[in-house]
Amino acid sequence: MADEANKAAFVEIQSRMIDTTAKLKQVQNQIRNKESEKKRAYLTLEELRQLSEETNTYKSIEPKPLLMNEQEKKLIDSESAIASLQTSKEYLEKQLAEVETSLRELLQQDPGLARLIMSMAVV
């Protein structure tokens, strides 16, 4: 009976670990994308600052001030999104550490379960 409860607990912990790891990877990818967007907006702004105010630019032949405002907004939005994603990443990392601790405790509690898991074939 205890073995079945430990197996069920292991499966539940394993499921939480897989879910948390997937969410963490997704957040890390989102952070990378936002950092890339932020860098692109920053570099565009740097180039635009070198042009005169009367210069028409490529994007729909918009005046420089309109394009600069758009890029500044992208830069600010990216920075706030990155900050939010960093908070999510930290939360998920803590959650993953808790799951790993739970798994470690379960395996220390039931060495038979640890042997059973080690004997399973990985598919």
Q: What's the Rg (C-alpha) of the chain?
A: 25
Residue ranges of the domains in the chain? 2-114
* Digit-coded pLDDT (tens) for 77-109: 999 999 999 999 999 999 999 999 998 888 888
Q: Which fold has domain 2-114?
A: Helix Hairpins (1.10.287)
Name the one residue in this structure whose structure tokens are 């798994």: 103
* 3-state percent helix, strand, coil for the chain, nearest multiple of 5: 85, 0, 10
What is the pLDDT at residue 60? 56
DSSP character string of 31-81: HHHHHHHHHHHHHHHHHHHTS-TT-B-SGGG-BHHHHHHHHHHHHHHHHHH
pTM above 0.85, yes or no: no
